[in-house]
Structure 1
Amino acid sequence: MTVTVTTTASTTLAAAHVNTGDTAWLLASTALVLLMTPGLALFYGGMVRTKSVLNMLMMSLVSIALVTVVWLACGYALAFGDDAFGGLVGDLRHAGLAGLTPDSVRGTVPTLLFATFQLTFAIITAALISGAIADRAKFSAWLVFVPVWTLLVYVPVTHWVWGPGGWIQHDLRALDFAGGLPVEITSGASGLALCLVLGPRLGFKRDAMRPHNLPMVVLGAGLLWFGWFGFNAGSALGADGLAAAAFLNTLAAGCTGLLGWLLVEQKRDGHPTTLGAVSGAVAGLVAVTPSCGVVSLLGALVVGLAAGVVCSYAVGWKFRLGYDDSLDVVGVHLVGGVIGTLLIGLFAVREMTGGAQGLLYGGGLAPLGRQLLAVVAVAAYAFAATYGLGKLLDRVLGLRASEEQEHTGLDLTVHAETAYDHGVLGHGAPVSSTVVPTATAQKVRPQA
């Protein structure tokens, strides 16, 4: 994100600044990123057990509506408005998108389009957190958590990284092309905080909690990968060579992430799995998000491979340390985001950044130090703020579903629906007499 100044101009002046090619690409990218949230819903939905599939889908889908309302009301203004508090947050001059007309321009694209593009980032960031608390969170509490968290955590961190006068961008001069800090690290650190507040699921480390539908997981991962091209290449804010390089780096890192995870599974477990393949691809995509526009193709390949290998081990940490990160938001998004953000300090190249270089290209240790400080600051703030918010909501509303609801399943007890009709098949024949439940055939991750 290199464009940081919003300009409001007359119709004539705006027409002179808007680039139709850039605008067309950003329109497409915005649609791609929005598609990632339904893709995430399928990805997460396939990973849970049959009794909570719809609840998992709903947590992602309702985030679209909740975050949109908050973003349009004041989120965009606070994130991308002129700095108001020493690099911490923007002002409210554009609250409700006031003053932003079809003639307003940011760089070479309409400001309204830029605001919408950034909205899709905010949506999926909030939705990502739901994977850490799957199967046990109260849906009513989630409806309150999402808008408050967006304003408390996502908005200020976004201003730090990309907003006019944000301290990480302008004072620290750390690099983040497409969202390693505000998206991946905030969602991962916040997911860790919430799962600690909620505690583990009933039967954690005792019962096999297998993905109930791996084809659904693969479909969701495919939609995520497809949308990620808009996420990363769209962050160039133009249809140019930088967007092309970010696009290629995104593809490359996803591939090496997939291969790295499978290599670990083969060595550790003796067999590569479908769940491992899609998890590795996502890990590579997560890690390349901050670096796709600042590293070379070689750097992207290494970033993806490192994420695939490290994250494949990181998802097992929850069993050793005792925190129940249901769908590995911490192991993939927090760890992958940290890897990708830190490796910028090693692999950044002048041809991509326009000046800054990483340690391996003669930039010294300073770039790595700046990246590390940004990671620590964002992760610490996101964790602390989310933990405090979670404790408050738990005291006021109660964050955790009842034991009965969790045992029966949130689909039926909360939404009065089920994803699959297990009662009858065809002309009333019991399912149990004709169908073997598919969940028994699914692979569970090693619970080391």
Structure 2
Amino acid sequence: MDLPTVAIVGRPNVGKSTLFNRLVGRKLALVDDRPGVTRDRREGEGFIGDVAFRVIDTAGLEEADADSLLGRMRAQTEAAILEADAVLFVIDARAGVLPSDRPFAELVRRAGCPVILIANKAEGGAGMAGAYDAFSLGLGDPIPFSAEHGEGLGSLQDALREVLPEPDEEDEDGEGGKGLRVAIVGRPNAGKSTLINRMIGEDRLLVGPEAGITRDSISLDWEWRGRRIKLHDTAGMRRRARIDDKLEKLAVSDGLRAVRFAEVVVVLLDATIPFEKQDLTIVDLVESEGRALVIGLNKWDLVADQPGLLKTLREDCTRLLPQVRGVSVVPLSGLAGDGIDKLMQAVVDASEVWSRRVSTARINAWLTEATQRNPPPAVSGRRIKIRYATQVKSRPPHFALFGNQLDALPKSYTRYLVNGLREAFDLPGAPIRLSLRTTKNPFEKG
């Protein structure tokens, strides 16, 4: 269903992200007392009662040079206004109308779409003087509101019902579900937002030379070769010891949540300085969360003239990341748009491997051969016996071994079994889980 679009706009620190979280019913947007937390446009499905809509949270409107970071943030907000069926213009009722509110009220008015004026932070009747002051903006009657406490939702529901078009029922694509969930993660300035902008064909995410521009985990709907994809751009991840800023800690935790909800995670490396310690840590995190993995070597256009480099980097990957042996390593350039099709094919292939199931008969035929070729060691003169194995689940592939004294099985032998499973059943790059279940001996005293 194609829902109507509502954009939330206003100067910084008037409570736009708190309102966004209230409308979508979850804490999706980062919220802090500091102004300017939101930088990209964040989208979600909002609802008040029976009124459903797509809602966009935007960066605070500020006057700035077009080429500056603030200027690019403003351009993103203006794009959201042009896309919207209705605009929620938010002011701080306690502060009243400030001079900086007026030029942006004029900007919204010129956009030509319906505007609903929200006098936020008016809980318990506070700030009513500021709410009345909002009449001077010429945007109609203000709705006294408290995004934090949910006051004024009934009035907002009535206002939205009047201005929003009916949802378009004919836009269903019949695929069902919400598409393959793909998170793009990596160190700051690896080019994650630039890559996603190139993928979707528009400057949807804020980019620039400054590291750490992205703060929220931004999700976007996209289609690749007829397949629905839900893309998640995330904040750059650094070592916790280097993160002093409270906002960055929130942003990194938001990125971790995106990894946990993704099906496939693309770890984007800077090809000019690949496999830094933090890159390896991020891959380890993705593996420990059990997500399917693809490694993207971004900025490949800067190093493509070095013969044999790709082969060397793939060998480095095998050596440095044995826990995801066989993972796809794809060279690409988000800026030039090169390698995106190969990356997405690797993503789809990784998803299929991640979801693969193997019959118990095949697993046990392999197990018999593997244990005959390299028998388990003996413990206290008694050889460990692996009786049979089965796959207990997929996404990621999870196998269980049954036998006696399996708790004494050395890690080197479990690695041998995991590598054997990976090779025998074509599970490259997937995190493989192995549970050891010792069969109780009924004759054992106890």
Radius of gyration: which is bigger?
A: 2
More strand by share: 2
TM-score (norm 1): 0.27
TM-score (norm 2): 0.27
More helix by share: 1
